[in-house]
Structure 1
Amino acid sequence: MESLREQLKIQRRQQVKESEAALHRNSSLLQDLQKIEERLRGPRPRPQLLALETRYWASVEESLPAWEHFLLGKGPHPTHGPGPRRAKQKASTARGQGLPPRPEPRTNPSER
């Protein structure tokens, strides 16, 4: 009985040591992961990119209800059903906004 009690005490001490070592190892790994995460974030994006991203997510949130209905099978496809649609931009309007002209169609070299 006494020897069993001593063995249990030894096992408990060993478990405590292993637990403390694991805790130390885990905290070290967590710190390493946090450092890696900070390095991966890199430099801050430009303000124009942040503004574009903000507008994109606002657009996603705005169209989310229509897509939810469609994906749940409760409504028509958002681009086919009734609802607000954006008017297509005319080519002359697009070029007036400083966009480059469209490239000329390529011709087959054998036709020259």
Structure 2
Amino acid sequence: MASYTHEEFELSQKHEDILGKRALLLQQMEAHYEQQKAKKKQQRLMSQAAKERNAQILKDLQNAEKNLQTRQLLHPDIINLETHYWASVERKLPEWEQYLLGKGQPPVSETGRLLRQQKLKTRQQDPSPAQCKGKPPRPKPR
């Protein structure tokens, strides 16, 4: 009979340990459940905020689309000028391509040559500083 009381005591101890572990697990499960609940609430709030942002973006896009549809078109003369400009650029591009790629000199047109010749003539006609009488030029401010 003494052995039964000792076994009962050990079983009682094991039972108490099990009940303690059970209580600890229940507390952990409660904490985990509360965390899950809080996380779901946060996700719900974030989802609602995202829906509101998306609705606002959609509204802004619709307004922009409406504004683009109702925007006045350019005057035909301006469109014509723009078309001629880009056609001119496309015609001149092969001449300028090497220069734009950094592999050559800029092309010289007839008007460019004439302008350079005129500049040279005006320089030759201008009196040299030694021939000028009067005050010397003022120094440039720093």
TM-score tier (shorter): 0.5 to 0.7
Match of 1:13 in 2: 44
How big is the shift at 1:74?
Answer: 1.0
Q: Deviations over 1:22-74 (max 9, x none)?
A: 100001111222333445x414422x443332222111111123323212221
Residue 50 (1) aligns with residue 50 (2): no
**Which has the larger Rg?**
2
Match of 2:98 in 1: 69
**RMSD over aligned Cα atoms:** 2.4
Between the two proteins, what is the percent identity of the paired residues?
A: 32
Structure 2: state its 5+ residue gaps. 1-31, 112-142
Structure 1: state its 5+ residue gaps. 88-112
Within 2, Cα distance between the matches of 1:13 and 1:2? 16
Q: What's the TM-score once normalised by structure 1's chain length?
A: 0.58
Q: What's the TM-score once normalised by structure 2's chain length?
A: 0.47
Within 2, Cα distance between the matches of 1:28 and 1:49? 33
Within 2, Cα distance between the matches of 1:12 and 1:71? 55
AA aligned to 2:58 is S
Match of 1:3 in 2: 34
More helix by proportion, 1 or 2? 2
Alignment: residue pair count: 80
